[in-house]
Amino acid sequence: MLQRCLDLLAPALRTPGAVVVDCTLGLGGHSEALLEQFPEARLVALDRDKEALRLSGERLARFGERATLVHAVYDELPDVLTRLRIPRVQGVLFDLGVSSMQLDEADRGFAYAQDAPLDMRMDQTTGMSAAEVLNTYPPGELVRILRAYGEEKQAKRIVAAIVRERQKEPFSNSARLVELIRDALPQAAKRTGGNPAKRTFQALRIEVNGELSVLERAIPAAVKALDVGGRIAVLSYHSLEDRLVKQVFAGGAATTAPPGLPVVPERYQPRLKLLTRGAELPTEEEVAENRRAAPARLRGAERIREDVE
């Protein structure tokens, strides 16, 4: 859905000197496309993964000073812009999927298809690993995480097995967890939805990286950073992520006036205009080319008014 993202942002990025923020740099594919398609624009790109910053830095080196790469989590956007002395930006892009590099690197522990240390931290210099979560969280908290972040209906069964096994030996590698999940699930649950470990691994990744709490802060901050006429595009891959984005966009696009006012004062007028009707889905062709794109949901909005205190 890269081209659709570029199309949504295009009207705001054709002005010389426009600044666009790629909040999820990854390997730099989106950033490269933004710099190529909008030759007058300047890019600020964020990522918490130092290896991603190194690799994308090599990829984007040819753009020189037009690209500024920053080691930061995307809810730190206001601080990053303050440090760079950028008061407002004209475009913001979020691609909330785990990068292919993280999924494919065996030692990161994101993928359930290969044995690896249970790490799952996007920034391996800070925070708890997935193994630490599995080995130390109370059972009730593990059940909550699997249900809320993985939408795992068999959370109680899986957690009971985890607690039983961690008492024998702490978890360290993904293969043991995958095998435990397979053994814990009833046969009917194994016949649908792909790999039975998928939902548990997703839930652990979201917990380890604080993804939803970070996103809860990041989307409003990105909207606030937009200049009037600026645009934001968000690709999410999980229903909870998409719901958060939908709520922020819908709230910004609604009037906040008390009912019954004959004229709506400026301070109650909508700040955003929605650019997508609901969430746009990838085409069949895109899914055929890249199966990881299947759950993608795209939403876009334009800043149409300043905040009025």
One-letter identity of residue 84: L
47 is in an annotated binding site: yes
102 is in an annotated binding site: yes
28 is in an annotated binding site: yes
Task: Please name the residue that has the structure tokens 């407002």.
Answer: 88
* Sheet arrangement for strand 67-71: 67-71, 42-47, 19-22, 89-95, 226-236, 297-303, 272-274
Question: Residue 38's closest CA among 9, 69, 74?
Answer: 9
107 is in an annotated binding site: no
The residue count of the chain comes to 309
74 is in an annotated binding site: yes
Q: For strand 19-22 and strand 67-71, is the pairing parallel, antiparallel, or unpaired? A: unpaired
CA atoms within 13 A on the CB side of 251: 10
Q: Cα–Cα distance between 91 and 13 in angstroms, integer?
A: 7
What is the number of other CB atoms lying within 10 angstroms of the CB of residue 71?
16
Q: Which helix (H) or strand (E) holds 245?
A: helix 239-252
Residue 91 DSSP class: E
Binding-site residues, please?
Answer: 28-30, 47, 74, 95, 102
Binding-site residues for S-adenosyl-L-methionine, please?
Answer: 28-30, 47, 74, 95, 102
